[in-house]
Each structure stands twice: as C-alpha cells, then as structure tokens.
A and B are shown apart, each in its own frame.
Chain A
Amino acid sequence: MSQPAVLKLHQELRKCFQNIKENQTVWRGVLDECSSLVSSLGNLAEQLRALKRTEIEKTPLGTFPNLPELLQYKLLNAIDTVLNQLREKVNAFGSVRDSVIKHVCAVFKMYEQNSDSLPISTCVARCALSPSISDMLEWLQDTERYYRIQYMQRKNLLQILKPDDLTLLESAPKRWLSLASPDGEERISDALCQVSFFLESD
C-alpha cells in the first residue's frame, strides 16, 4: 500500500474542495448582484422602446426642445453603464473559473504523476469518512466543467448584447435566467456535502 501517495493526494484534494467551497459563495454572490443589473437592463430596453413609440411633440412635453434625443442619450448612457457593470461581474465569474481550474488541474497533475503508485483498486476504495479518490476526482472534473460552461455562456450572452439591438436587450433577462442550471449547482453542493467529513478529518 502506497500510503504516502494517497495521503499527499488527499491533502491536495482537501485544498481543492476548500477552494471550491469558497468560490461557490463568491459565485453565488456575484450571480445575485447580476440579477438586479440584468433586470434593470431589460427595464431600460423597455423604456427605450417606449420612447421610440411615443410622439413627444403631441404631448404637453413637446415644448421642451430636443427632448426625445436627450432622453435617448440618457437611456443609452444608462444601458452602457449597466453593460459595463455586467462585464465586470462576468470578469469576476472568470476569476472564479480560473481559480477552480487552477486547483483542479493541480490535483489531476498530482494524480497523474503518482498514478503508478496508485492502483485503481486503491482509487475506488471508500470508507465512512472519505469518499473514494475516483469519486472525488470525478466531482472535481464535473465542477470545473460546470464553471467553465457557465462562464462561457454568460460571457457569450453579454457579447451579443448591443445597445442598438432592442429586441435582444429586452429578452436579455429571460435569457440570463435560462442560463442558470440548478442541477449543476446542486451537484456541486452535493459533492461538497459528501466531502464535508473528509475535509474535517484533517
């Protein structure tokens, strides 16, 4: 039994799961902040659409000079600001993803380096306190894939949003919501729950 290799790998796994745990909270926080931004983006798009439909000259406001242009300028500015804020948030997602990828890669690298001293029978051995190495590696891989795809999808959505494409802007909140994958989140939480004893058994 090559105990030292197992112990070393366990150590690395603990570190990685710890990191994922922290990152999960960060991710959730950023996601919450985003939802308000995205809904305000949809709101702004709706206002812009309303502005285009109404003929201000026929209302009492018609006396103000250049009102439609000014309003439109203001709204576009607001949209720009919101989009910029969203971009920042997505960058935050990116940093979460990068950190997860870095840690997961490190674990896999270590496994690959020590794989000669880690036969498969050892990898699948489970006990009451710790899941098997293979299970944990699998979870890590799933988590990494989840964050990677999530980040890519959200970044993509943000990229195609342009201030002049109103219909797309209006549908943005709906699209943003549809990107959320509760299954994936749940799976990460499940994995974290399953490794909680393992994390404590330092």
Chain B
Amino acid sequence: MVLDLVVVPPETSDLGSQRCRLGLVLMEDLGLRLGSPVLVTLQGGASCLCTAWPRPDLAEAYLQVDPTCSSAQLRPDALRGLRLGSEGLRALNCPRVKRLRVTALVRSGEFKRRTSAQEVGALAAELLTGLYVHEKHLVDISHAGTPIHSLQVDTVNSGSHKAGRVTPETRVDVVSVRTLETYQRWERKGSSVPLGGLEEVYVTLKEMLTLPLRYPISTRRVGVTAGRGALLVGPPGVGKTQLVRSVAQDVQAALVTVSGPVVVGSRPGESEENLRAAFTRASEAAREEPCVLFIDEIDALCPKRSSSTGTPENRLVAQLLTLMDGVGSDEGFVIIGATNRPDALDPALRRPGRFDREIVVGVPTLQQRYQVLQCVCRSVPLSPNVDLYSIAEKTSGYVGADLSALSREAVLHAILHSTQGGAGDSGQSEVEEGDVRMEHFVKAMRMIAPSCLRSSVGVAEFTPVNWERIGGLEEVKLKLRQSVEWPMKFPEAFVRLGVCRARGVLLYGPPGCAKTTLVKAAASSSHCSFLCVSGAELYSPYVGDSEKALAQLFQQARACSPSIVFLDEIDSLVGCRGDGGGCRGSSVQAQVLSVLLNELDGVGFKTTERRGTGLSERQETRRDQRMQLQEVCNQDVMIVAATNRPDMLDSALLRPGRFDHIIYVPPPDLQARLAILKLHTEKMPLNSNVCLEDLATRTNLFSGADLENLCKEAALLALHEEGMSVSTVQQKHFQKVLQHFQPSISSQQLLQLQQLFKHNYN
C-alpha cells in the first residue's frame, strides 16, 4: 500500500530529538517499533535518518521530520509543503557503533585554534551519544549551544556499516575540524563558470596562490615570500572578475571581495575604516585556509594622488598602501586588484612589494574567441550547421562578455523563431525544433556590437558592397585583395614565404573613380573591423585633442584587430610638413601627421594593449595551426587611405613600411565604362535602340560618378519630355544629356597624376 504523506514542520519540543512522527498504520506496515530508526528519502536523493514515533493525536497521512541527521544536500526549506509517498520511508537496521570518524564543523575559527582535536572529540562523543548516525550525513547539534555546530559523519565502524547508534562506548575520532563558513563555501562550489581562452593568465594566478601552500618548506628555505599581489589589467568585459573567482574556487581559497565604490563612505574616516575591516576579514580568513583579497575596480579606490584630488582620497590611498605593506609581514593572503584604467592608478601602488605582478588580460584573439565561444555555447543546443570557428572569425574585437551576450541573443532569436510558427517551413523539419542555427547567430551579430568599439571615434556602418558592384578596375581590385583578403584566407602561404601583411595602402586617382567604394568592398569581403576617420571627427578647438583622438582610434583599432582604418581625403587630414604647403609649420595638421607616422611605424605600443602571448599548450590540430597562423598574419592594423591630391602628401608617409602599396585608380577605360553603364542601367527600363557600347566610346575621360550621373540625368530627361507615364529611356535622351555634359576630369590633370609616381610605381 502506497500512502501519500503530507510533510508538516516538526513540533518545537521535538527539535533535536531526531524524531519522525508517523501514523500507526504506517509504522505497523514498516514493522517499526517505538524509537526504531527509519530512513526518509526525498525525491532529490536527499535523505534523513530519524527514529519513528507515533503522533500524539495518532493521525495518519502526516509526516513530521526532524532533520537532525540528514544528508548535506537536504535544505531545511525543502521539507516545507512536500508530499511524500510512503515508499520513501524505510526501516533501517542500526547496530551499535564501535568506531566513528567525523569531521567537526565549528562556529568560530578561534575555538578551532584554541581547542585540541581530543577535546573536540570528547565533546562530539558526548553530543552524539544516543543518536543514530548515517554515513555521509550531517548531524546538526547546534541546539545544544556548544561551539560545535554540526558533525559530518565520514565512516561508521570503519565503513562496514551504513548507519548505527552511538553509545557511550563508541569511540569517536575527529578527523578534521573546520569552520562552518569554510564548509559552506566548499559546498557552494558547484556554481563555477567555465572560462575559455584565459588559460595562460589562469595558470599564472593559480601558481601564485598554490606555490606557498604546496611547497611551504622550500619557499621558506629560499627565503622568498612569493608574490603577494597581482594587478589584472584589461579592457572591460574580458573576464577579470570571473577569472579571479574561478581561480579562487579552483584552489579552494576564500575570496574576500572589496569593490571600490562600496568602501567609500560619507563620513570622514569611514572609508579607511571599511578598508581596514576588509583587510582584517581577509587575514581572519587566511588563518584557516588560503585567501584572496580581491579589489575590483581598484582605480576608483586608488586614484593618482595630486593636489587636485581632495585630501580624503589621498588619505584613502595612503591607507591602502600601508595596509598592503603590512600584509607581507604576517604572511597572510594574496591581493588581486582589477582595473581597466591602469594609468589612473597611483604609481606607488604599482611597485613590487605591493602589486608584484601586472597581468594583462587583453581582448581575446581569434583562438581565444573560439575557446570562449565553445565555453559559452556548452549548454546551448547547437544545430550542426553552426560553425563556431567562422563565428569566431567574424567577431573580431568581441570580448568575453560580448560573446556571451551574442550567444544569449542567438538563443533568444531561436526561441522567438520556434514560437512564431517556425515549424511552418517544412523544409527545415529535419532540424530539431529549438536548435540554435547559424542564421540566429548572424542575426544576433547584427544586434551586438563589440564593446571595445562602442564610444569609439570613427565607427562606420555601411551597406556591404560586393566586388562585382564595381565595374572594371580589375587590376586595382586584385591589388587590394592581395593586401586585405589574402592574409586572412591564405595565412599558411604568407607564413611559408615569410611575407607579412601590407601595413598600408594608398589609393590615389582622379575624383569620382570609386576609391571609396573600393575600400568599402575590401572591408566587406574580409570580416575586419572597419573604422573610418574624417576631419570633422578629428579636429577640435582644444590643443592636443586631435592628436589624442587619432591615437585613441589606433589603440581601439589594435584592440579589435584585424581591422582596417580608412582615412578618406588624407591630404586634407594630415597635410604636409615643411615648405611645400606654405602655412604648415607647426600647425595642427603637422602634429596629426606626426601622430599618424608614429602609429604607422612607431617603436611599439603600450603594454596594456598586449593580447594573448605565446602559444597555449593544447593539442595541435590542423585547424588550430591555421588559426595561429592567421593570428600571426593579422595582428596589425591596416591603413587604407584615399586621396586625389597625392602631391600634397608628406614624403615620409609614402615610404614602404608605411604605405606599402600606392595604387593608382585610373579613370575607367572603355571596357570599364561599359561595365559601369551596365551596372547603373540595370534597374532602368531601356529602349532597344539604346547602345551602351556607343555611349561608352563617347564618354572618354568620364569618371564613374559622371557615368552614374549621366544615366540619372537621361532618365530624368525622359520623364521631363515624355511625361510621368514614360515606360523606357531612349537613346536620344542619353545623347541630349551628353551634349551638355563635361567630364569632371581633364586630360591635363590626368597626365599630372600619372607622372607623379612614375619613378617608383608604374
């Protein structure tokens, strides 16, 4: 007979008595006597060992359980309002226990330090006498008011029995004494988030934490106190906080977190007090086990001291410095700070002895992105057409947070898709419902922009342009492809031949000959980040502002490499030094030029911009190799500039190593003009008498823009002459327009351009 029992809370008088109140019939069914042990098992596998007693009112169908001896996963609130089948109850044969091994969980670390294991054992034996215990259960004896909160039973009778009754003759061995806090933290361990692509930093941090613990004697003999502090530097969202959490969890260290803004209080001296309290907490915890004091957003706590910042801030910084110095003496804990603005920190903080190591966590590289994606999508049901590798390739500049947002967005799209009658298209029926497909990721990618490009100057959004949309210019296209697309597509070949990617490409030619469109096509064919700058964004009335903006632009471009920086009308942007232009001298333009020269071919860049270093020791597959090669090939920023006044440019810009390729974009020749005309009249209903070849021959020196305009004008003329209901554009319209039309390029201008770079480039 299976009875459905309602679990009700136990009486207060029964607390700590280990009683479980049952109905009489059930007790007889189970063959239970008064006070005989019964094991109550809940659905989740949690169990509780009790002694059976009848209810005072002898009612059936109710169950009251006192969870004194229960498995660790049993939460007190799990018993509330539960319904339990009577099959969850089982009579248990409990012999007397001769020997018991327990772990004692004490309330305070102070008691643990002061009391010997024997004393704890004697106390535990007294507390346990008369109770029934079960292997791996937690016996809660907090009601007795002793310093011992509970006892975890490790083995009963050296493992020969599962459960038993403790008598005064039982020998209780306390294996270890731990504080309750530690125990609870270890129990919570399951919630760790896997991290992808941070292995190197992870290993460094872990080594710092475990070295003094694992080899205490050798470290003491060598007389080094291993690094006690580390500063994590990196842009927001790369996983600094997450990293520290997971390392602390991995080495089972206590984690005391201090966040800058929380510490700061309103009263004078309050902030310092909070800070001291945090350090005390950490050293308190460090007596039990390894401990990490984690200061998040440390730049808020420790800004540069100067006369402009107030005295309170300076005092706080001084307090932090003295506290950090004090740490080394009592050999306590490791301090880890995290910031995304290392330059805002007080320099005194960044010396060995305080923060010994500075660990740069950069924007993830291609390989790291792939690993992050693998981690992020671990629990997502992916459809087989999803290629994480190609997603990683397309998401240059995305940090960990962006990638996890991306996967979340993709999942949301998938859910939306399946609820909005996605089942309707029967063609996809073999794909399992609710799977996340590639198109969901593509959609999500449009929604989530990389966070390091937010608030950046010169982020451009444009409609992708195909190479085919540009008529003619085959040679120029090939050149551009060589320098932009090839390093992405054939990294092996580039590495094999020892060629590196072109640093910069300068396009010059008469106006209106599709220079800008060419760059657009190049950017859309390779999945680079694309930044473009114009004079309006760069120039500002403040001295030094333009230079800073340009430097920042390059910094961001490097963070999201591979990337293309496009400088349109570069002649007006940077100009030329020296006597050439006349009024240049020390103007802003000259300074911007010097910044540009530095960024193009400078000594190096700041350490904080460092990205994944070295090669991770993973199993090398062909694909991994390819990814590494691609990484090597494409870690730089490529600069593409366009101008129609190449003679105005500074000669320093034009040397190889800066602009490697200087490409002349000529006005379209006959074939190209035909192609352009075809493109522009594609959507235009043309009369059969229109001869595009004839038009092409008659439009010598016309640029692409001219030709586009020609087609437009012809169509407008047709509308004007024949009325709004005209169906086709005729040859005569084209001819009429041509009569009034002057090409925008003069042959003299062309000659000048062609001769300019004749000596070095043909």
Partner of A124, one of B13, B17, B24, B35: B24
For A124, list chain B residues within 8 Å (CB).
Answer: 24, 54, 58
CB distance from B471 to the nearest CB of A (A): 94
Q: How far is the CA of A149 from the CA of B143 in the complex (A)?
A: 9
Contact with B along A143-180 (1 / 0, CB 8 A): 01100110011001000000000000000000000010
Chain A residues with Cβ below 8 Å from B35 are 108, 137, 141
Contact digits for A107-140, partner B, Cβ 8 Å, 1 yes 0 no: 0100110010001110110000000011101100
B56 CB contact (under 8 Å) in A120, A135, A179: A135
Determine whether A185 belongs to the interface, using a CB cutoff of 8 Å to chain B: no
In the complex, identify which listed stretch (B123-131, B368-376, B511-519, B728-736) lies at the interface while the others stay far away: B123-131
Are B34 and A145 in contact (CB-based, < 8 A)? Answer: no
Select which of B24, B144, B146 is within 8 A of A120 by beta carbon. Answer: B24
Report yes or no: A152 in contact with B24, Cβ–Cβ below 8 A.
no
From A123, A149, A179, A187, contact of B34 by CB (8 A): A123
Contacts A134-B34, A141-B17, A153-B144 given; indicate if A120 touches B27 (C-beta within 8 A): yes
- Interface SS, A side: helix
What 1/0 mask marks residues of chain B from 145 to 159 whose CB sits below 8 Å from any chain A CB? 110000000000000
Q: Complex: how many Å from CA A187 to CA B11?
A: 14
CA distance A134 to B28 in the complex (A): 14
Q: Cβ of A138 and Cβ of B53 under 8 Å apart?
A: yes
Question: What residue in chain A is nearest B27 (Cβ atoms)?
Answer: A120
A142 interfacial by beta-carbon distance below 8 Å: yes
A135 to B13, CA, bound (A): 13
Instruction: Known A142-B13, A187-B13; judge A137-B34 contact (CB<8 A).
Output: yes
Cα distance, A108 to B35, chains bound together (Å): 9
A179 CB contacts on chain B under 8 angstroms = 145
Task: Give the distance in Å from the alpha carbon of A144 to the alpha carbon of B131 in the complex.
Answer: 12
Contact check, A134 vs B129: say whether CB atoms are below 8 A apart. Answer: no
Q: Chain B residues with Cβ under 8 A from A156's Cβ?
A: 123, 146
Query: Does B443 sit at the interface, judged by CB under 8 A?
Result: no
Majority secondary structure of chain B interface residues (helix, strand, loop or mixed): loop
Q: Tell me the nearest residue of chain A to B129, going by C-beta.
A: A148
B287 within 8 A of A: no
Whether the Cβ atoms of B146 and A153 lie closer than 8 Å is yes
B220 at the interface (CB under 8 A from A): no
Residue of A nearest to B167 (CB): A105
Interface contact B34-A142, CB-CB below 8 Å: no
Q: A120-B33, A156-B123 are in contact. Are A142 and B54 (CB under 8 A)?
A: no
Q: How near does chain B come to A133, taking the closest CB pair, in angstroms?
A: 8
Residues of A within 8 A of B34 (CB): 111, 115, 120, 123, 133-134, 137
How far apart sit A119 and B31, CA to CA, in the bound complex (Å)?
A: 10
CB distance from A189 to the nearest CB of B (A): 14
Judge whether A153 and B33 touch: CB under 8 Å: no
- Kindly list chain A residues whose C-beta atoms are within 8 Å of the C-beta of B127: 152
Whether the pair A152, B146 counts as a contact (CB closer than 8 A) is yes
State whether A134 touches B33 (Cβ < 8 A): no
Residues of chain B within 8 A of A120, CB atoms compared? 24, 27-28, 32-34, 54
In the complex, A133→B54 CA distance in Å?
A: 11
Give chain B interface residues in 100-159, CB to chain A under 8 Å: 123, 126-127, 129-130, 144-146
The complex places the Cα of A187 from the Cα of B17 at a distance, in Å, of: 14
User: In the complex, A179 Cα to B17 Cα: how many Å?
Assistant: 19
**How distant is B371 from chain A, measured CB to nearest CB, in Å?**
55
Chain A contacts for B28, CB-based, 8 A: 119-121
Complex-state Cα separation, A120 to B32, whole angstroms? 9
State the Cβ distance, B350 to closest chain A Cβ, in Å. Answer: 44
Which residues of chain B are within 8 angstroms of A135 by Cβ–Cβ distance?
A: 56
The interface bits of chain A over 169-200 (1 if a CB of B lies within 8 angstroms of the residue's CB, else 0) are 00000000001000000010000000000000
Closest B residue, CB atoms, query A178: B145
Q: How far is the CB of A99 from chain B (nearest CB, A)?
A: 14
Question: Known contacts being A115-B33, A134-B54, is A149 close to B24, with CB within 8 Å?
Answer: no
> Nearest Cβ in chain A — how far from B136, in angstroms?
25
Binary CB contact string for chain B from 561 to 603 against chain A (1 if under 8 A, 0 otherwise): 0000000000000000000000000000000000000000000
Q: Chain A nearest CB: distance from B41 CB in Å?
A: 23
Q: Which residues of B contact A133 (CB under 8 A)?
A: 34
Among B56, B123, B145, B146, max chain A CB count under 10 A is at: B145
A144 to B33 CA separation, bound complex (whole angstroms): 20
The 8 Å CB contact of A153, one of B16, B53, B58, B145, is B145
Query: Which residues of the partner chain A approach B130 to less than 8 Å between Cβ atoms?
Result: 144-145, 148
Contact partners of B16 in chain A: CB under 8 A = 145
- B24–A121 touching, CB < 8 Å: yes
The 5 closest A-B pairs by CB, nearest first: A115-B33, A149-B144, A134-B34, A124-B54, A152-B126
Chain A to chain B contacts (Cβ below 8 Å), 18 pairs: A111-B33, A120-B24, A120-B27, A121-B24, A124-B24, A124-B54, A133-B34, A134-B54, A137-B34, A138-B53, A145-B16, A145-B17, A145-B130, A148-B129, A152-B126, A153-B145, A156-B146, A179-B145
On A, residues with C-beta under 8 Å from B are 108, 111-112, 115, 119-121, 123-124, 133-135, 137-138, 141-142, 144-145, 148-149, 152-153, 156, 179, 187
Given contacts A115-B33, A156-B146, list 16 more A-B pairs with CB under 8 A: A111-B33, A111-B34, A115-B34, A120-B54, A121-B24, A123-B34, A124-B54, A134-B34, A137-B35, A141-B35, A142-B13, A144-B130, A148-B130, A152-B127, A153-B144, A187-B13
